[in-house]
């Protein structure tokens, strides 16, 4: 049986008989095919995405640039295309590619909710590990814990992204991602399973999660979780990001709107900010005894 003959969501829904898409939890899911899955990447040697679109719907997500190449009527966060032949395509690619490090995933969360049904990221991870590739995973989804059985004892670094320690604020910026406490649980269980762990603090949100107080909280969480590697990231003025960021700011932090606009679009202000933030991050890492784990 070809690998892509996994159970389709469409068999079980009325809309599958009527059209090519189905709406699940407010997002439109489509089954598509791809020609290539594993791509060369600037983050590690390769990256792959079994899904186009990401229902986590983070307000600052730069992957929304994908809509330029794969236009959708729905806004970012409200659609996901499932590459149902992902494992077949990967199997063909693995016959000719040299093993290396694979960033998992670069333009979606590989463990967003549809992965619970399709298990495509899981199967691709298994195939990559069997072929001698190293996995560098970054996710905001607790679902990744489902796959600890295939990661245990293998060449895997399991990381989570945390933007803020505040659950309410996280819910506003990352509406459908797992709770911050669940992401910390991922770190804890991955560590207990003997995996190398990592955390990405970012994008650090100016005046919301980039203050010395919040940075101290974040690094304290990293210390408690015994994280092996820590990265940070700034909010970037990438294409299509500003409209959603400014909308959220206008609703919840109207006084910060001008501040963000300056930091994102005024080159001098931005350069100064990036430099100051870097120093603040280093001070927080030093205080938490984690300076050497900062990547």
Q: Which residues bind ligand SF4 (CB under 6 A)?
A: 54, 56-58, 61, 63, 108-109, 140, 174, 177
In whole angstroms, how close is the CB of 105 to ligand SF4 at the nearest point?
8
In whole angstroms, how close is the CB of 196 to ligand SF4 at the nearest point?
21
Residue of 40, 159, 181 lying closest to 111 (CA atoms)? 159
In whole angstroms, how close is the CB of 82 to ligand SF4 at the nearest point?
15
Identity of the residue, 52 or 197, whose beta carbon is nearer to ligand SF4 in the bound complex: 52
In whole angstroms, how close is the CB of 258 to ligand SF4 at the nearest point?
25
Identity of the residue, 61 or 90, whose beta carbon is nearer to ligand SF4 in the bound complex: 61
DSSP string, the chain: --TT-SPPGGGGSHHHHHSSEEEETTEEEEEE--S---EE-SSSSEEE-SEES-TT--TT-GGGGHHHHS--SSPTTSEEEEETTHHHHHHHHHTTPPP-EEEE-SSS-TTSTTHHHH-HHHHHHHHHHHTT-EEEEEES-GGGGGGHHHHTTSSEEEEEEES-S-HHHHHHHSTTSPPHHHHHHHHHHHHHTT-EEEEEEEEEPTTTT-SHHHHHHHHHHHHHHT-SEEEEEE----TTHHHHHHHHHHHH-GGGHHHHHHHHH-HHHHHHHHHHHHHHHHHHHHHTT-GGGB-
Identity of the residue, 58 or 214, whose beta carbon is nearer to ligand SF4 in the bound complex: 58
Identity of the residue, 90 or 107, whose beta carbon is nearer to ligand SF4 in the bound complex: 107
In whole angstroms, how close is the CB of 53 to ligand SF4 at the nearest point?
9
Identity of the residue, 114 or 222, whose beta carbon is nearer to ligand SF4 in the bound complex: 114
Identity of the residue, 11 or 68, whose beta carbon is nearer to ligand SF4 in the bound complex: 68
In whole angstroms, how close is the CB of 92 to ligand SF4 at the nearest point?
26
């Amino acid at each position: 049986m070809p690998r892509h003959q996994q159970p389709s969501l469409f068999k079980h829904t009325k809309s599958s008989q009527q059209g090519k898409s189905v709406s699940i939890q407010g997002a439109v899911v489509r089954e598509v095919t791809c020609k290539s899955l594993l791509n060369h990447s600037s983050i590690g040697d390769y990256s792959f995405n079994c899904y186009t679109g990401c229902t986590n719907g983070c307000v600052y997500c730069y992957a929304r640039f994908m809509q330029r190449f794969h236009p959708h009527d729905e806004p970012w966060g409200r659609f996901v295309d499932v590459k149902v032949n992902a494992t077949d395509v990967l199997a063909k690619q693995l016959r000719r590619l040299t093993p290396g490090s694979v960033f998992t995933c670069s333009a979606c969360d590989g463990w967003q909710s549809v992965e619970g049904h399709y298990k495509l990221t899981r199967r691709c991870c298994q195939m990559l590990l069997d072929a001698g590739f190293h996995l560098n995973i970054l996710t905001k989804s607790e679902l990744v814990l489902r796959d600890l059985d295939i990661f245990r004892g293998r060449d895997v670094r399991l990381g989570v992204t945390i933007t803020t320690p505040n659950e309410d604020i996280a819910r506003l910026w990352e509406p459908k991602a797992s709770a911050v406490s669940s992401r910390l649980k991922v770190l804890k269980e991955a560590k207990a399973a003997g995996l190398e762990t990592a955390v990405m603090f970012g994008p650090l949100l100016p005046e919301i999660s980039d203050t010395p107080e919040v940075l101290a909280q974040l690094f304290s969480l990293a210390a408690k979780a015994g994280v092996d590697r820590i990265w940070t990231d700034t909010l970037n003025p990438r294409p299509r990001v500003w409209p959603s960021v400014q909308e959220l700011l206008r609703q919840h932090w109207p006084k910060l709107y001008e501040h963000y606009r300056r930091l994102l679009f005024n080159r001098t202000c931005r350069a100064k900010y990036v430099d100051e933030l870097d120093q603040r991050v280093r001070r927080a890492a030093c205080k938490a005894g984690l300076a050497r784990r900062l990547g």
